[in-house]
Structure 1
Amino acid sequence: MLNQLLNLLADGQFHSGEELGERLGVSRAAVWKQLKKLDELDIPYSSVKGKGYRLHDEIELLQPEQIRMQLSQRLDILEVLLDVDSTNSYLFQKASDHMGKRYAVMAEKQAAGRGRRGRQWVSPFGKNIYLSLLVSFSGGIAALEGLSLVTAIAVERALVKLGIDGIGLKWPNDVYADGKKLAGILLEVTGEYNSHCQVVIGVGLNLSLSDKDAEDIGQPWAALKTIRPELSRNQVAAVLLDELLQAVDEFQKQGFAPYQQYWSERDIFHHQEVVILGGGEEKRGVVKGVNRKGELMLHSDKGMEVVMAGEISVRPVS
């Protein structure tokens, strides 16, 4: 019933308790109980005597049937959740029961969304895209080199399809717009090094963030709605998922090598001097692209060095 109530309130207009009860086929007391659940989800709403109830912001809820209709690639399961700790964690727990299947989960809100390096991913209700995709690989963990970069390329391609210009990529798997972070990626793997394994590919994409929502974001950020306010959240979700499924298909057949030049051309730090922090050490050098495995090529005072992805941070030299 909460989904139905949210769909009625999604227009951001006032609706009386009596009207809501009639349209839901329940009592006003039952409506009130459902409204209390909005508090639990941190969805701001107002109650005004004589007017009724309204959400503070108009929202567009994700509609799985609408998203599915726009997909051209194979997907076995699509699930949309109102609230979850993390879409990645949710799918990771289900992985062993869905070997070989392509299983996508989206959520309206994450209570404990995660980014790389243990960071929180800010995930307010009904505003952004929180997507995780479970995929199986027969070549084992050893065959996944470059997958995080291919995922970032899939996000970039989706944004280009949606008419967004000026998108750049930051190694190993971030997506930027005009020098500000627009999307982040987190891959989690379970299985054997040289045999069957499963990967949960998580993508967080900012659509609409208020300054209050973004209080805990510790870096410059961008949101799609500031670039193209007319974009439909369901359209963005569908195009993103479709491009991700296609990229996974291509990667399973060809690996990362065909994307090597494509990545370098869109790398926001290509030919720039950077500092790489991680593992208790610091490297400094000029980015010279990536190799066929998706590893960063860094020209330092020691010569050409290869930097593997991990718990590291790449920053420009100020």
Structure 2
Amino acid sequence: MSRDEATLSRLLQTLSSGDYHSGDELGQRLGISRAAVWKQLQKLGELGVELESVRGKGYRLKGGLELLERDCLWAGLSDLTRARLTELDVLSVTDSTNSQAMQRAARGQSGYVCLAEQQTAGRGRRGRTWVSPFGRNLYLSVSWGFDGGAAQLEGLSLAVGVAMCQVLEAEGVKSVGLKWPNDVLWQQRKLAGVLLEMTGDPAGACQVVVGVGLNLAMPGSPALDIEQPWADLETVCAAEHCPMPGRNALAARLIDALVGLLSSYHLEGFSAWRDDWLARDAFAGRRVVISSGARTEEGIARGVDINGALMLEQAGERILCHGGELSMRAVS
């Protein structure tokens, strides 16, 4: 970390309480001039951090900001998870956590976890942009090695969705659902998404990267770039009258859940997760359209099979739709 980056990090830590701090106070704390403080505050604006300034009081981050802290995350993990990890990386700004994890995966590193405060090129499925404002949501990727090739990974993105729902339900959120193949929903609005990428031998030793994005407290301005109905956990917890979990605590629970899932998935596969997925299927019995490029199929969603393929009913018969580049939407 450069000196300038370290100064910016210390400024964020100081402002994260949500209290007002004058320019003079910030300069004394950081050991820099008022002019240098102003430059650092401008950089926060470039990161998309919403800063409030009041004459006579100073500057603050309204509502405060819980920054991700590696030591706090590590302490929140179970002993078993800590034993299974090779590296826990917490970045301020990166292109995408999946890109970082894929670099490790290409070198054969399993058990690598990457989190970031902000992604400049966050990705969803089919090349879509994942809106990733600074310090407000969770962006998390895990690389994991499998010896049995891609066949062992069937249905994995669906199982990850189940694991995420279980973590949220343990926090008191009771009405989350799943949309095939990779979305976590609340009231038919997207709360979280899953992106899986693979490198290595499709028929032998390979590495999979599981990336998840979870909206926690989406600021107003970045939200304008989201092209579909969405929700964040702050809104969900307010509606369901449950406490909003801290970012570090929630991230640690997600890491525990994902590492536990990945550690045993080669033994049990999706069949062990299918009933839990079906219990949360937000589109069960609904008429849907499945699309891939210009090609579309319409029918009634009848859940998923033991491999995670969507069962689509057409004229009384069922066809299987496998993930890949397919997407699904309800017929309006």
TM-score class, shorter? over 0.9
Measured in 2, the distance between the counterparts of 1:163 and 1:133 equals 25
Alpha carbons 2:161, 2:184 under 8 Å: kept:
yes
Aligned to 2:259: 245
Which residue pairs with 2:37 in the alignment?
Answer: 31
Specify the alignment match of 2:320 in structure 1: 306
Report the alpha carbon displacement of residue 30 of structure 1 after superposing the two structures with TM: 4.2
1:52 aligns with 2:58: yes
Equivalent residue for 1:276, pick from 267, 290, 300? 290
Q: How does 1:119-130 map to 2 (within 5 A)?
A: 119-130=128-139
Q: Do structure 1's residue 294 and structure 2's residue 308 form an aligned pair?
A: yes
The answer to whether the 8 Å contact 2:270/2:307 transfers is yes
Q: CA deviation at 1:121?
A: 0.8
The structural deviation recorded for 1:207 is 0.5
Q: 1:143 aligns with which of 152, 155, 180?
A: 152
Say whether the 8 Å CA contact 1:277–1:283 is kept in structure 2. Answer: yes
Amino acid at match of 1:228: C
Once the two structures are superposed, what CA deviation does each residue of 1:180-205 show, in whole Å capped at 9, x if it has no partner? 11001111111111111111111010
SS of the residue corresponding to residue 119 of structure 2 reads: coil
Q: Deviations over 1:108-140 (max 9, x none)?
A: 111111111211111111110011111111112
Cα contact 1:129–1:205 (8 A) shared by 2: yes
Residue 60 of structure 1 deviates from its aligned partner by 0.9
CA deviation vs aligned residue, 1:256-283 (integer Å, no higher than 9, x gap): 1111222112111112221111142211
SS of 2:220 mapped into structure 1: coil
The match for 1:155 is 164
**Structure 1 match to 2:220:** 211
Task: Give 2:92's match in structure 1, choosing from 82, 90, 93.
Answer: 82
Sequence identity percentage: 48
Bigger shift: residues 245-254 or 182-191: 245-254
CA distance in 1, matches of 2:175, 2:181: 18
For structure 1, which segment, 24-33 or 191-200, has the greater mean C-alpha deviation from structure 2 after superposition? 24-33
Q: Which amino acid aligns with 1:213?
A: P
The Cα of 1:309 is off from its aligned counterpart by 0.4
Stretch of structure 1 that moved more, 55-64 or 6-15: 55-64
- Partner residue, 1:105: 114
For residue 194 of structure 2, what is the amino acid of its counterpart?
A: I
Gaps of 5+ in 1: none
Provide the rounded CA distance (Å) in 2 between the counterparts of 1:299 and 1:162. 35
Q: Secondary structure at the match of 1:82?
A: strand
Contact kept, 8 Å, 1:9 with 1:15, in 2: the verdict is yes
Q: TM-score, normalised by structure 1?
A: 0.93
Q: Does 1:71 align with 2:77?
A: yes
State the Cα distance separating 1:302 from its structure 2 match. Answer: 6.9
Match of 2:246 in 1: 232
Moved more, 153-162 or 26-35: 26-35
Quote the residue 1:166 is aligned against: 175
Aligned partner of 1:95: which letter? Answer: A
Q: Which runs of 5 or more residues in structure 2 are unaligned? A: 1-6, 239-243
Q: Contact between 1:150 and 1:251, CA under 8 Å: does it hold in 2?
A: no
2:265 aligned partner, one-letter code: F
Cα contact 1:297–1:305 (8 A) shared by 2: yes
Q: CA deviation at 1:57?
A: 4.7
Q: Is the 8 Å Cα contact of residues 141 and 191 (structure 1) preserved in structure 2?
A: no
Q: Which residue of 1 aligns with 2:209?
A: 200
Q: TM-score, normalised by structure 2?
A: 0.89
Distance 1:36 1:259 in 2: 47
Does the 8 A contact of 2:88 with 2:114 survive in 1? Answer: yes
Shift of 1:41: 1.6
